A = this chain, B = another copy of it.
Amino acid sequence: MTDLPKEIHIVEEGPREGFQFEKGKIPTGRKIELIDALSATGLKHIQIVSFVDPRRVPGMVDAEDVVRGITPVKGVTYTGLWLNDKGFERALATQRLDVRGTITVGASDAFLKRNQNRTIEEQIASQYPMTRRYKELGVPVTRGGMMAAFGCNYEGDIPVDRVVSLVGEILAIARETDVTLDYVSLADTMAWATPLSVKRVIGAIRDKYPEVEISLHLHDTRGMGLANAYAGLEMGITRFDSAVAGLGGCPFAGHAGAAGNISTEDLVFMCEEMGISTGVDLDALIQCALLAEDIVGHPLPGSVMKGGTLARLRAAR
C-alpha cells in the first residue's frame, strides 16, 4: 500500500534550537540535565549548542560550559552549530564534539541577502574554499544543506528546478573538493512546505540525482510539520531533524503553543505507530519533553506529551 521506510534516523536539535531561542536565562545545569536525559532515550545524534555571538544570542553564552558539562553516552553523537569561522574554531576547541563540515547553499537570494549578505551564487562560491579549509584541518565534510528549499518569506515560492539545480551545485562542490556526502538536507526554513511540495521537490531531485540521500528539516509554524514528515516518509525519506517538545525558534514569539521545529516525540509516535522503527524510547522521550517544559517555564507545542501514548492505553486495558 505504501513504501514507508522500515526505520528512520533522527537528529535531535531541541537543546540547540530551544536554548538559543528562549528569552529568559536558563541555568547551564538545567541545559545539561536535558541533554543528559535525551542521551538516555535512544537518540543517536543530539545537536546541543550553537557557537554564535553571545551579544546577539545571549542564550548561547555558556555553550562551552554546556559541552564540558554533559556526560557523553557511548553511541550518541553530540554536535554543535556554527555560522562562521570563529564559531567553527570554538566548536573544534571543545574537543568533545563531533565536528563535521556542511556544504551549505540557499535557495533564495532575498533570504541569503538578509542573513548572510550574499547572493545564491556568492554562497555557492564560498563553499569551495570553506570545504577545502575543513579538509585541511582534517574535519570530515559529510553533509550538504539547503536553506529555504520550499519557499521564502522574502522571495515567495521557490521553483522546483532551482532546488534541483542547487543539489547539483552541492554535488559539484563535493566532487571538486573530493568529499563524499552522506546526505543532503533540505530545510523548510520558513515553513512554506506542504505535503504536496515535499513530494514534488523530492521527486524532482530523485529524477535527476537518484543516488542522493535526502534529509528533511521541517518547521511546524503553519501546522504542516507532521503532514510534511509523513509525505517525506511516503517518499522513502529516512532522515529527519526535530526538536523535543517542539522546542525552538518560531517567528512569532509570545504565542504559547507556537511551533518551531517538528516535535521529536510526535515524529517518533507517528513512526512507531506506523511500524517504522526510530530506536527511541517514546516514554523516556516524553519525560524529556516534560522536563523541557519545566526548564523553559511555559507550555511547549508538542502534542503526544499532552495527549499521551497509545502503548500506555493498550497496556492498561
CA–CA, A224 and B224, complex, Å = 10
A270 located at the interface, meaning its Cβ lies under 8 Å from any Cβ of chain B in the complex:
yes
Residues 219-266 of A at the B interface (beta carbon under 8 Å): 220-224, 226-227, 229-231, 250-252, 255-259, 263, 266
Minimum CB–CB distance from A161 to chain B (whole Å) comes to 16
Residues 196-223 of A at the B interface (beta carbon under 8 Å): 196-197, 199-200, 203, 220-223
- Chain B positions within 8 Å of A263 at CB level: 223
- Chain B positions within 8 Å of A155 at CB level: 317
- Chain B positions within 8 Å of A317 at CB level: 110, 154-156
A97 located at the interface, meaning its Cβ lies under 8 Å from any Cβ of chain B in the complex:
no
What is the size, in residues, of chain A's interface with B at 8 Å between Cβ atoms?
56
Which of B2, B270, B314 contacts A227 (CB under 8 A)?
A: B270
- Chain B positions within 8 Å of A51 at CB level: none
The contact string, 1 if C-beta is below 8 Å from chain B, for chain A 150-191, is 010111110000000000000000000000000000000001
Which of B226, B256, B308 contacts A226 (CB under 8 A)?
A: B226
CA–CA, A258 and B153, complex, Å = 28
Q: B270, A194: Cβ atoms under 8 Å?
A: yes
Known: A194-B274, A314-B157. A302 touches B223 (CB 8 A): yes
Known: A223-B304, A258-B307, A303-B221. A156 touches B313 (CB 8 A): yes
- Chain B positions within 8 Å of A153 at CB level: 313
Given known contacts A221-B306, A226-B226, what 10 new A-B pairs fall within 8 Å (CB)? A156-B310, A197-B273, A220-B303, A223-B270, A226-B227, A230-B231, A252-B307, A255-B306, A256-B257, A256-B299
Please name 14 pairs of A and B residues whose Cβ atoms are closer than 8 Å in the assembled complex, sorted by A.
Answer: A2-B196, A151-B310, A156-B313, A192-B310, A194-B274, A196-B275, A222-B269, A222-B307, A223-B303, A223-B304, A224-B266, A250-B307, A258-B306, A258-B307
The contact string, 1 if C-beta is below 8 Å from chain B, for chain A 276-317, is 000000000000000000000001011110111010011001
- Chain B positions within 8 Å of A250 at CB level: 307
Known: A154-B317, A257-B256, A273-B194. A303 touches B227 (CB 8 A): no
